[in-house]
Amino acid sequence: MTDRKPMTLPRLAQMHATGEKIAMLTCYDAAFASLLDEAGVDILLIGDSLGNVLQGRGSTAPVSLEDMVYHTFCVSRGHKWAWIIADLPFDSYHVSKEEAWKSSAALVKAGAHMVKLEGGGWTAETVRFLSERGIPVCVHLGFTPQTVNALGGFKVQGRDEAGAARMKRESQEAVEAGAAMLLYEMVPAALAAEITAASPVPVIGIGAGVGCSGQVLVLHDMLNITPGRKPRFVKDFMAGKDSVLAAVKGYVDEVKAGTFPVNEVHGF
């Protein structure tokens, strides 16, 4: 892959427009960043899932901005080509857009190309503030892990008419505010496919069906090293593979071919 060029926002937009699927995985350190890059992963997400995966906590809420800056720095030291997104942690963007700017700037300085925040509606003002000041933003809609308590647990979002209408409205508001990417978690496949088809920006899905512009999974889940029961949308890509590199390449191949996820198996 010597002629490979670093991933850019226009290239991701082009992939969405032409139906070329986008492969994304979470990543938290330099060693995996280098391996995932080599395997052809388009986007590395320094997810605040590191609270669960690396820190053994019960939720993403206790993850600090310092944690995110540290792991973003580690990933940026190992990567060459992939687009890098870093999560704004729970207590780093809710109080004011100025606070969101400071938090985002810290992540960009550590090596992020884009920041991700959770929720629709009230976040639009923040998305506009960051986008207008040159920080690309991804908006995470559907099931939002940082607000699991308010949502009443790990529940699929947008199932009924009112929920679907809300998803559509919040997606449009986010894009109008300048969001350059959307991410849907645990959303009915038909709804996610319908919104993606009309979306001017890429929509990455996790438990949102094969009709999204691309897919993301938590790295440790798809390598089957997360203890305990996995969500329905996870597939074990280590099964039948003799190396981590082969497992990640298998994931990239299946996402690109549109054979993962299978709506009836991994979707809602």
Binding site, annotated residues for Mg(2+): 48, 87, 118
Cβ closest to ligand KIV, residue 79 vs residue 140: 140
User: 3-class SS at 130?
Assistant: helix
What Cα–Cα distance (Å) separates residue 242 from each residue in 24, 31, 238, 249? 22, 18, 8, 12
Q: Would you list which residues are annotated within the binding site for 3-methyl-2-oxobutanoate?
A: 48-49, 87, 116
Cβ closest to ligand KIV, residue 76 vs residue 146: 146
CB of 105 to ligand KIV, least distance (A): 20
User: 3-class SS at 80?
Assistant: coil
Nearest residue by C-beta to ligand KIV?
47
Choice among 185, 194, 254, 264 that is catalytic: 185
Cβ closest to ligand KIV, residue 216 vs residue 252: 216
CB of 190 to ligand KIV, least distance (A): 20
Asked if 113 and 134 touch (Cβ cutoff 8 Å), the reply is no
CB of 161 to ligand KIV, least distance (A): 26
Cβ closest to ligand KIV, residue 147 vs residue 243: 147
Q: Residues in the site for ligand KIV, rule: CB under 6 A? A: 26, 45, 47-49, 87, 140, 183, 185, 206, 216, 218
Q: Known catalytic residue: 185?
A: yes
CB of 131 to ligand KIV, least distance (A): 19
Half-sphere exposure of 133 (CA within 13 A, CB side): 15
Residues in contact with 184: Cβ distance below 8 Å, sequence separation at least 6, in sequence order: 141, 142, 167, 192, 195, 203, 204, 205, 206, 208, 212
What backbone torsions phi and psi does residue 142 show, to the nearest 5 degrees?
85, -130
Residue count (the chain):
268
**Residues recognised as catalytic:** 185
